[in-house]
Structures are given as C-alpha cells and as structure tokens.
Amino acid sequence: MLNPDYNYLTGAFKTSPFNTPSSGMTTGETLMTGGLILSAFGAVNGAIGSYYAAESQKNQLKMQAQNQRFAAQMSALNARQAEFGAQQIMRAGQREIGRYTMAAGQQRASAQASMAARGIQAGVGSAKEVMTSMKLMGEIDRLTMDSNLVRQTEAMRSQQINYMAQAAIQGTSASNISATANTISPFSATFSSLLGSAASVGGMWAQQMRMNEMIAAQSEKRF
C-alpha cells in the first residue's frame, strides 16, 4: 500500500500537521517564562522592601538623635542648677561665717569687759592668755567653716563640670547620628535593589534566549 504523505519523486515526506514543527512553546519554555515573571515580581517586592527598610532605619536614627539632643539639654540644665546650687551654698556659708565671727568678737568683748569690771588687766598675764586663746579658737573655727564651705561649693561645681561634659558628648552624638541618618536614602536603596534584581533577571532572560535558539536549531536539523 502506497503512503500518500510520501513523495516518491523527491524521496521526502509531504508537509502535514503531523510532521510540521510546532510553533508553540514547549513545557520547558513555559516554565522558564513563568520563572522570569516570578523573578520580576520578586524584584519589585524586594525594591519595595528595601525602600521601607531604609525609611525605617532613617527614622530610627532620627529618633535616636532627638533623644540625644534632649539628653544634652537636660545635662545643660543640670549644669546650670549645679552652678546655682554652688552659689547658694557659698552665700549661705559666708553669711554663717559672718554671724559666727561677729558672735566670737562679741564674746571676747564681753569677756574683756567682765575682766575690767573685776579690776583685771586684760592684756597682762593669764588674762592675756585667755583673750589670746579665745581669739585663736575663734579663728580656728572660722577657718574650719570656710574649709567646709569650699568643699561643698567645689563638689557642686564638679557636678556642673560633669554635666557640661555630658551635654557636649550627647550633643556631638546627636549631630553624628543626624549626619548618618541624612546619608540614608530610601530611593537610593530602592534603585540599588532594582539594579541587582535586573542583573539577575537579565541573566535568566539571556539564558532562556540561548535555550530557545538551541531548541530552534535542533528543530531545524530534525525536519
């Protein structure tokens, strides 16, 4: 029985729907195309995620800078309060020393008047020693009070210096954090993410095109 699809003159089969190469996509090509589409969606989602991640980091740094600025302001306020406290202690101490000096002077004057009333000469003998001793004890007490006053005042001023140093450090930290926050650009992060994804998707696309060319070449050789 003769085959109607065979041309006995040319020695080749006639073209028919059963031996014509298919122009549709193969299963492999379909999968690769689907992979490219998914990669594109992934690239877009990654870019969006990069934008919001950069935005969140920038906001966090701004908040940290704001907290450091607030801490610096509080430290400066504490420094001013420490200086005010030192001045208050100094004034109160000086008033106390003044009252004590006056009281000690009155006490010596009373003692001297009492001696004179009893006919004792204050500047001679034991009377002189008593008056000298009273004056010396008064001076020692005054110097002790003055020393304590200086220690208390210097303690407050030391706190003031510490608060001023803290304010300077916190202010510098706030400036540095703000500068770092300003270098973060959500749009730059998005663009960088898209560039990286585009390179990956482009590589997959080029690979698919090479595979399609190889498949087409094999199909031409077969038919």
d(CA 159, CA 17): 97
Residue 111 lies in a domain: no
Does a structural domain hold residue 197? yes
Q: Are 19 and 13 in contact (CB under 8 A)?
A: yes
Question: Residue 208 is part of which domain span?
Answer: 185-216
The answer to whether position 208 is within a domain reads yes
Give how many domains the chain has, as a whole number.
1
> Within a domain: residue 56?
no
Question: What tens-digit pLDDT sequence spans the chain (223 residues)?
Answer: 444 544 444 444 444 444 444 444 555 556 555 555 666 666 676 677 777 887 888 888 889 989 999 999 999 999 999 999 999 999 998 899 888 888 888 887 787 777 777 776 666 667 777 777 888 888 888 888 899 999 999 999 999 999 999 999 989 999 898 888 888 777 777 777 666 666 566 666 666 666 666 666 665 555 5
Residue 157 is assigned to a structural domain of this protein: no
Which tens digits make up the pLDDT trace of 175-203?
A: 898 888 888 777 777 777 666 666 566 66
Residues 184 and 57: beta-carbon distance below 8 Å: yes
Contact (CB, 8 A) for 171 and 72: yes
**Sequence-distant (≥ 6) Cβ neighbours of residue 184 within 8 angstroms:** 54, 57, 58, 61
Domain annotation covers residue 199: yes
193 inside domain? yes
Taking the C-alpha atoms of residue 213 and residue 5, their distance in angstroms, rounded to an integer, is: 29
- Reference 79, options 159, 139, 3; nearest CA is 159
- The secondary structure of 112-170, three-state, reads HHHHHHCCCCCCCHHHHHHHHHHHHHHHHHHHHHHHHHHHHHHHHHHHHHHHHHHHHHH
Does 114 fall in a domain?
no
Residue located via tokens 């003055």: 146
Residue 192 neighbours by CB under 8 Å, 6+ apart: 50
> Cα separation of 112 and 106, whole Å?
10
Report whether 68 contacts 170 (CB < 8 A): yes
Q: Are 76 and 161 in contact (CB under 8 A)?
A: no
The pLDDT score that the predictor gives to residue 22 is 45
